[in-house]
């Protein structure tokens, strides 16, 4: 019984470690994609969002 519990504990530990690594990879990928979209400049991203809002408002006003 002790060996089985030990083996199960090792499997769970490895599984949790792998899940954590996957989440870290996803986070780094999202951060990289964000940097590529904004050329590393949060101001540019903010300007793009403001321009999109203004465009949507103009479209609503035209209707």
Helix/strand/coil (H, E, C) string of 17-31? HHHHHHHHHHHHHHH
Residue 63 lies in a domain: no
Distance, CA of 55 to CA of 43 (rounded, Å):
18
Residue 42 lies in a domain: yes
Distance, CA of 47 to CA of 25 (rounded, Å):
28
The model carries a pTM of: 0.52
Q: Give the pLDDT of residue 6.
A: 93
Residue 16 lies in a domain: yes
Residue 33 lies in a domain: yes
Residue 37 lies in a domain: yes
CB 37 within 8 A of CB 45: yes
Residue 51 lies in a domain: yes
Q: What's the structural domain count of the chain?
A: 1
Per-residue pLDDT of the chain (63 residues; tens, 9 = 90+): 789 999 999 999 999 999 999 999 999 999 888 888 777 566 777 778 888 999 999 888 887
Residue 27 lies in a domain: yes
Tell me which residue range forms the domain holding 22. 9-55
Residue 25 lies in a domain: yes
Q: Which H/E stretch holds residue 46? A: helix 42-62
């Amino acid at each position: 019984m002790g060996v089985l519990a030990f083996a199960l504990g090792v499997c769970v530990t490895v599984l949790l470690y792998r899940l954590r690594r996957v989440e870290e990879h996803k986070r780094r990928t999202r951060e990289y994609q964000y940097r590529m979209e904004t050329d590393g400049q949060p101001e540019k991203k903010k300007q793009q969002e403001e321009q999109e809002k203004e465009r949507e408002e103009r479209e609503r006003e035209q209707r």
